[in-house]
Amino acid sequence: MALPYSYLAIEGNIGAGKTSLATALAKKHGARLVLEEFAENPFLPPFYENPDRYAFPLELSFLAERFSQLKNELANRNLFQSVVVSDYFINKSYIFARANLGADEFELFNQLFKIIESNLPKPDLLAYLYLPVEKLQENIKKRGRVYEQKIADQYLQNIEKSYFTFMKQHKKMRVVIIDTSDVDFVNNPADFLRMEELLSAPYKPGIHRVKA
């Protein structure tokens, strides 16, 4: 089956499997793969130790990095890789900033975000991978990034709430929320095919909820 969307963004909470799924889809379909470049962000490890101090510079730096990468990648598509699969989209910056910043800082951030957002195309399909917090924590521990090991359940719940609030406010987007609680699309080929099937379905604009 072919992916029917020319720009597919895979989103989800921390540890949901976004990068793994996006990478596998792009490899199978010969799509252009866009992965978030976060590993070198100097504000990320200290943010988890002192979020009040580092949240604003962290979110600003992520916004700049994401905009630069997406603008370059989406502008340089070629005929042989006409489909783009990404493990994030620019509104991730808004979603995390809303969860992490105080009211005054968020207001300033949002003014910058609106300017940047208007200069990028929106995904043809936004797929949100849902996992309960306990499974997110299992995945976070498995991948072993030191600075993530102290992430609290409440923080993951706040991020999830921010995603859902965003989606409810953007009902004209084409969004599918996939409950992946009972699948392992990384290690089980049948589960990957199920995810591929769900991401190839002809969704109308609006929010759709399905179970993998």
Q: Which residues are catalytic, by number?
A: 87
| Secondary structure (DSSP) of the chain | -----SEEEEEESTTS-HHHHHHHHHHHHTPEEE----TT-TTHHHHHH-HHHHHHHHHHHHHHHHHHHHHHHHHT--GGG--EEES--THHHHHHHHHHS-HHHHHHHHHHHHHHHTTSPPPSEEEEEE--HHHHHHHHHHHT-GGGTT--HHHHHHHHHHHHHHHHH-TTSEEEEEE-TT--TTT-HHHHHHHHHHHTS-PPSEEEEEE-
